[in-house]
Structure 1
């Protein structure tokens, strides 16, 4: 795996080509130096181009007519790569912090250090996934104040709201579950072979249709169009931190209010995200979801009367 220094260079190259399609090699190298203070040789660029494709699925195409480079359309691969480099950057910050703790304390102000408690389990989980072995652990139920032992086929790890979750299939079952990694203890890799992630691709796609993790809460089985009225000022924040990848923001022209649309299955997490926006948004469609959000607001209003 590339060091963070190399990852940073690969990210800069990918972002530059993404924002300037058909950029020539000469322009690319000049802009890397000018915008990123990155002086690389042509041979290094060619090598990095191969690494991006072979290791990260980011394909850079060359157009012989324009003599320019463009990224092959693969939004998922690109977003996943950028997310990975951010995670690697954070890991490097914390690693450097251990080496220079005084500087770390001055420069890094984490909001909640508890979000890093589950990182200690990553090595065991990822190793179990990579060698296709089952994993056993004890899971604590905070609400019921109980503990239960599980043996699972670990498939992947998913992040949501500053927490990490193990997506796995429990022994004797044939459907995926979410396990909050911060609630797990006594992790052990078993000798038994686990189920393959390829057999659960259709189930895993359900996460694409929701905010967060709960894909079985929506009133309808299929994703639907959600239309929300939003103040133009709020649209700026939504654009910088989208609630869901299907989000489309449309500025209002004659008024201060624009519109946001989503294509998803509304669940509790999505409801909470909308409620967090307060009086800067109003759910318009569908009616059943508008009524559900209104019900939350009515309940809160009666509590404060």
Structure 2
């Protein structure tokens, strides 16, 4: 296992916890010696075994990531069954690590921000209601709030809801709370709710059931169709982009012997958001299956063409 050059973070533990999880995802059953070499700041400045175990304890106690030792394989591994969502943890640590890098560069360099441009204002704004909703989630307490809908273009429509909040999810630079109302599972954008009040009667969380329900959709829209296999064919120029930013976690490459296009399959509930993801590629993608979806995309493209 090759040791990479380490960035100079202000808080090395942010880097070390992230790197330990990443390396165990790629190379399970690594020895303690190899893991220490990998997450140490330099070859000459290695962390101690005591520090290694302290990092493991931090991952377990603060983040719910369980690392165990396998005597049979003589190495450490991630116990994914007893850990929280590891991908969410890595995304969280990536944000912290990026913040550490920016903070480090700002020290003694007043013009650092002139070289950094955020995608939009919301990327650096304080997330409204984040703490109050997260506190309610962690305590299994319901919340009541007023929601402003984006679906009514002539006027803003407000409605009060009571929700059992299960978890927070980020999608396209917005944060959403996923939970359950009396009518079933719902998602609400944190930037579209106000007057949040926390109830006092605890509920039993259904976080796993909620995540399972939304695991087979793109985005957070409701399921418009049954779970099915979708096959898409991209222009070969899009291969690296689609590989690096998959449309869904179920994405798999198919037709491997075809060097003129990049073909994939996905197992999802097709919905409006998924159709929007297809349409943004324009002529660079074609729906192979199912036929009804190909016809739907074709009709949408025709309507768009008629606008011109």
Give the TM-score taking structure 1 as reference length. 0.82
- Give matches, 1:67-146, under 5 Å: 67-73=74-80, 77-89=85-97, 102-103=110-111, 105-117=113-125, 119-144=127-152, 145-146=156-157
How far did 1:62 drift? Answer: 2.8
Instruction: Choose the corresponding residue for 1:183, options 188, 192, 202.
Output: 192
Q: Which residue of 2 aligns with 1:288?
A: 292
Could you say what secondary structure the match of 1:23 adopts?
coil
- SS of the equivalent of 2:306 reads helix
* Secondary structure of 2:38's aligned partner: helix
1:224 aligns with 2:228: yes
Gaps in structure 2 of 5+ consecutive residues? 1-9
SS at match of 1:150: strand
Distance 2:75 2:66 in 1: 14
Query: Matched residues in 1 for 2:180 and 2:102: separation?
Result: 32
C-alpha displacement of 1:125: 1.1
**Matched residue SS, 2:250:** coil
Change (3 A) 1:71 1:201: closer
**Structure 1 residue 233: Cα displacement:** 2.8
Cα contact 1:32–1:38 (8 A) shared by 2: no
Deviation at residue 209 of structure 1 after TM alignment = 0.9
Q: Which structure has the highest helix share of the two?
A: 1
CA-to-aligned-CA distance 1:169-217 (integer Å, 9 cap, x gap): 33xx141211111111222223x3153322x643442210100111332
Please give the alpha-carbon distance, in whole angstroms, between the structure 2 residues aligned to 1:95 and 1:31: 24
Alignment of 1:175-254 (within 5 A): 175-190=184-199, 192-198=200-206, 201-218=208-225, 220=226, 223-250=227-254, 252-254=256-258
- Asked if structure 2 preserves the Cα contact closer than 8 Å seen for 1:118 and 1:182, the reply is no
Deviation of the 1:41 alpha carbon:
1.0
- Give 1:96 shift: 8.2
Q: Note the alpha carbon deviations across 1:39-97, whole angstroms, 9 max, x for none.
A: 31111112222333444343334343553333345597321221221243466678889
Cα deviation, residue 110, structure 1: 1.1
Equivalent pair of 1:247/1:261 in contact (CA under 8 Å):
yes
Cα pair 2:122 2:173 within 8 Å, conserved: no
Instruction: Give the secondary-structure state (helix, strand or coil) at the position aligned to 1:233.
Output: helix
Kindly indicate whether the alpha-carbon contact (under 8 Å) linking 1:118 and 1:164 is maintained by their aligned counterparts in 2. no
- The 1:48/1:263 distance shift into structure 2, 3 A limit, reads same
Aligned residues of 1:230 and 1:258 also touching (Cα < 8 A) = yes
TM-score (norm 2): 0.82
Question: 2:85 is paired with a residue of what secondary structure?
Answer: helix
Deviation at 1:254? 4.7
Question: How many angstroms does 1:291 deviate by?
Answer: 1.1
**Contact 1:210–1:265, Cα closer than 8 Å, also in 2:** yes
Residue number in structure 2 paired with 1:162: 173
What do the CA deviations read for 1:20-53 (whole angstroms, capped 9, x no partner)?
3332222222233488997311111122223334
Equivalent residues in 2 for 1:39-78, closer than 5 Å: 39-64=46-71, 67-73=74-80, 77-78=85-86
2:5 is aligned to none
Q: Distance in 1 between matches of 2:256 and 2:147?
A: 48
